[in-house]
Chain A
Amino acid sequence: MKKFQLGEFEEVVMLTVGLLYNEAYGVAIKNEIELRLERKVSVGALQTALHRLEKKGLLKSWESEGNQERAGRPKRFFNITALGKQALEHAKTTRESLWKAIPQVVWEIKTSH
């Protein structure tokens, strides 16, 4: 299932694009991640991830017209494709199966450091 393989940051971006639904463009995605995950995201890292995901076919994008706020530059909105959804599902199920496979005893051992 190599084509569904997602990196951690890619997964976060995909999920954020999903939750923003139709409002997912660069700045919005950046703000959302920074708000929810309390981590700094650079424009460079985000854009690289977005375009890589688009190239893989997990995201699709379209440009809107420019507005005053952005000195006439267009916004590029992103949306999850069907393949993207499958990839997310795949990520989720593999995680869950891993979670389930951890024996209960692991949680009960007190680790001391």
Chain B
Amino acid sequence: MKENTELPPGLFLRIFRAFCDPFIVDSIEGDLIEIYRISRLKRGKRLANFLFFLDVALLFRPGIIRPLGFSIELNHTDMYRNYFKIGFRNILKYKTFSFINIFGLALAMSVSMLILMMLADQNRYDQFHEKKDRIYRILSDYEGSKSPYATSPQPLAETLKEYPAIETTTQLIPGVGVDATHEEKTKEIRGYFTEPSFFSVFSFELESGNRATALSAPYSAVITREVADFLFGDQDPLGKRLEFEDRKLPFPLGGDAPGTPAVSWGDFMVTGVIDPSKYASHLSFDVLVSGSTISSLITSGKMEDRREDWKWYFQTYTFAMLHEGKTAEELTAALDDIVMRKEAEIKSEYTSGFKLLPQALADVALGLSSNDTNNRLPLIGYYFLAALALVIMASACLNYTNLSIARALTRAKEIGIRKVTGALRKNLVVQFLSESVLTALLSLVIAFVLLLLLIPAFKGLWVNQYLNFELPFMPALYLGFVLLAILVGVLAGIYPALFLSGYQPIKALKSLAEIKSGKLGLRKALGISQFVVSLFFITTSILIYNQFKHYLTFDYGFQSESIVNIPLQGMDYQKLSTEYERIPGVSTISACDIIPATGTNNNNEIKVLGSTEEYEAVGVLNIDRNFPENLGIVLLAGNGFGTNDQTASTQILVNEAMVKELGYPSAEAIVGEQFETKWGDQLLVVAGVVKDFRYKLLLNEDAISPMMLRYNPAQFQYINVKIASPDPMKTLAALEGRWKALDPVHPFRYEFMDDELESTHQGIFDVVSILGFISFLAIFIACLGLLGMTTYAAERRTKEVGIRKFLGAGSFSITLLLSKGFLQMLAISILIGAPFSFFVNKLWLENLPNRVEFGVGTVVLGSSVLLLLGIVTISSQTLRVSKAKVVDTLKMD
């Protein structure tokens, strides 16, 4: 009978075998098969299979399931204890090698641990929301964008509510950047317009006030504890009035840029106090204003109406909360549907291929988007750091592998004995792995100490004032660290374990000579790759450092020394400059709207009056008459702005680049030329040509592009005070004193212009610090590896050296003999690494504006550093052996 040879479904049978007590498994399996065959004959395959499954499922009960623990097999704890004992003894016996392994792994692990901490740090954000799994942020994307926008069109929140999958939505509209005044006290506060649903989506609690109604009525404001303490002191702020004066302070990003002159928004009532410092959230604010306020602000012309504008997706943050059990796919479908329905309203020149995408709240931490609510390290940053950590980790693991294989001979007898007394290969693999895991766990201790040193260094990086990494220790982290150590141990130890456990016992015991201590070629290749990587890191760090210095000493085309830029913060510039002119030590004063070459640019589009050509985009800087002189910008042609303000406001100064761009034969030729602007301003007359100076960030622009300077006092944001005094600090104090007399509300802020320019490149210095540190680790670990190999080679040849010396060889020739192989290795590393570093660095440098000269010099410098360190490492061992007394070396055994 054909059917009677059928077996039940193998999967269930295997499951059964897996859980069943091995003592009774066979007979029960026999029963099962017999029953299955009968039922299959009677009921057919499908039903029989099902019944069989039921039978197996019902067998999963105490009495049938195999007992826990190893009671059936041999007790292994003793063996493991032995592995660890031998492991410890080996670590203690070969102290140099253990040190090299443990320290190298520790260095590498500390970097990975730091990255783990960074990830943990970021992921603690927004964990406190009760419904966090159902909250999504809506991103906007268009064709050809670098990254999606975190913001979306304002009408989206309302429209999205119509879809059944969505429980509710809430939107945060930045735009509150005001001076808030209560009685005598004023404070700059920033925040969002939002709706009552804010509190049903997010789990922020109110310290006082009613969550349900706090954001309902127009002109309601929920303020933070900090603001409340400042403005109200001990009083209860609830129900009190606050006067808001709109300053258009940039928010949520934009840092310290000064606001505009104040426009009153009227009185707001405090309806709640919140303490956001208690919550780790990507949303931070000083104030939340009820969204219902917006319509009345729009009616009174104090705010632009974006309520039905589907094209303007640069401002509003929209959050959607799904009904329980609904998935992101349903949200995506809803968003796609909206984009389709609103196609006509969305269509514009900057919304081609427009898309709305959901981003789970949990992904916000690492998913930095354009226009985001706070500065965070973008995902690419983590990849970059992780790649560096991985390279270092690989290097340290290679050391372990390399040294373990090189020292295989020391373990050969042990392996032989273990095999003879019955150890299987897998037992030996486990033994060697437990040894490497032990090493890794010891490294973890040192790595932790290193980490404690690394954390403040990392937090002290310039860029961290924007990223705000706090790096707290959390319980889950420790588990992560231990898992990391175990993983590293296994990775480092797996190859030696497989290699060493493969010895044939008879060879291992009989003659050591027949044992190969690992292919020398392979070990050398590993060493060479370490040095190539190190060389690459060294060269890159030197190069980036040179680039940094190049930027610092860059000739901007204007003088920034001893100029202090003071943000006006809404104050009248004329009033302030008249005051300041009287202060001794102040030489010249000028004003402008943005500080050139610090990252902010404005544009206008102009063309020669009546010309048929396209409008040309040019940079715009609004300045007063003193500005060129104050910054030492030379006027090449023309007379500059006229003395009459009315005339001056229609005049422009242009730079040489503009003259060239528009094809005028000389600077004089363009003076008097009339331009029209795209946005229907009055005509602009060229009143002069200035020498080119840097207006955009050095990182952003290689050649200076055309720009114009306008006389436009209404736009002024900064006053530039040139200090010419032996004691600039005293003058500064005087400046501050006058400021306080004029404006008691806003704190006096100032920055030296050269510092400001310098700080635009601090980010590069961070990269130098990180890369420099990584190169240090790479070279250190590579040298540790080299040290290990030379030590071992020197030890093995001690006797040979003794005999050679006895026969008359000199110290030098012996040092050379021992070092030759390793020197060769270094030479090969440089031969491969130098051109590699050169061309790869050339590749990215090509795309950098205002790049530093990158010649062979940098590579030679890097190679010399590498060579020097390598030679010191090698000779430290070879010299020791070659200098040893002949008697000692020959006696040694």
Interface residues of A (CB under 8 A from B): 25-27, 30, 42-45, 47-48, 51-52, 63, 66, 69-71, 73-76
User: Contact at A63–B54, with CB atoms within 8 Å?
Assistant: no
- The answer for the CA separation of A74 and B24 in the assembled complex, in Å, is 10
Task: Contact check, B4 vs A26: say whether CB atoms are below 8 A apart.
Answer: no
Q: Decide yes or no whether B283 CB sits under 8 A from chain A.
A: no
Q: Are A27 and B7 in contact (CB under 8 A)?
A: no
B42 CB to closest chain A CB (Å) equals 13
- Scoring B residues 45 to 63 as 1 if CB is less than 8 Å from chain A, else 0, what string do you get? 0000000001101111111
Besides A73-B29, A75-B30, A76-B24, 18 new A-B residue pairs in contact (Cβ under 8 A), listed by A number: A26-B27, A27-B34, A27-B35, A42-B58, A43-B31, A43-B35, A43-B55, A43-B58, A45-B58, A47-B31, A51-B24, A51-B63, A51-B64, A70-B33, A70-B34, A73-B26, A74-B26, A74-B27
* B37 interfacial contact with A, CB 8 Å: yes
A25 to B33, CA, bound (A): 14
Residues of chain B contacted by A71 (CB below 8 angstroms):
5, 7, 30, 33
Count of interface residues, chain B, beta-carbon cutoff 8 Å: 25
Check if B886 is an interface residue, CB within 8 A of chain A.
no
Bound Cα distance A51, B21 (Å): 11
* Residue with the greatest number of chain A CB neighbours at <10 A, chosen from B7, B30, B34, B57: B30
B32 interfacial contact with A, CB 8 Å: yes
Asked if B506 lies at the interface with its beta carbon under 8 angstroms from chain A, I say no
Contacts of B59 in A (CB 8 A): 42-44, 47
Q: Bound complex: CA of A76 vs CA of B28, how far in Å?
A: 8
Residues of A within 8 A of B30 (CB): 26, 66, 70-71, 73-76
Interface of A is mostly: helix
Shortest A3–chain B CB gap in Å is 19
Does A30 lie within 8 Å of B35, measured CB to CB? yes
24 interchain pairs (CB within 8 A)? A25-B31, A26-B28, A26-B31, A43-B31, A43-B32, A43-B35, A43-B55, A43-B58, A44-B57, A44-B61, A45-B58, A47-B28, A48-B61, A48-B64, A51-B24, A51-B63, A51-B64, A70-B34, A71-B30, A71-B33, A73-B26, A73-B27, A74-B26, A75-B30
B333 to chain A, nearest CB (A): 46
* B625 to A: closest C-beta gap in Å: 98
Contacts of A25 in B (CB 8 A): 27, 31
Q: Assess the A47–B37 pair: CB atoms within 8 A.
A: no
Q: Which residue of A lies closest to B38 (CB)?
A: A27
Q: Which residues of chain B in 660-693 are interfacial with respect to chain A, using CB atoms and an 8 Å cutoff?
A: none
* A45 contact set on B, CB distance < 8 A: 58
Residues of chain B within 8 A of A44, CB atoms compared: 55, 57-61, 64
In the complex, how many angstroms separate the beta carbon of B814 from the nearest chain A beta carbon?
Answer: 71
Can you list the 8 inter-chain pairs with the closest CB atoms, starting with the nearest?
A73-B30, A76-B27, A44-B58, A26-B31, A70-B30, A44-B59, A48-B63, A42-B58
A73 nearest in chain B by CB position: B30
Tell me the smallest distance from the CB of B708 to a CB of chain A, in Å.
Answer: 89
Min Cβ gap A77→B in Å is: 9
**Closest A residue to B20 using CB positions:** A47
In the assembled complex, which residues on chain B have CB atoms less than 8 Å from the CB atom of A47? 24, 28, 31, 59, 63-64
Q: How far is the CB of A55 from chain B (nearest CB, A)?
A: 9
Bound together, the chains give a CA A81 to CA B546 distance in angstroms of 93
The reply to whether A69 and B64 contact each other, CB–CB distance below 8 Å, is no
Separation of A27 and B36 alpha carbons in the complex (Å): 11
Q: A93–B60 Cα gap in the complex (Å)? A: 35
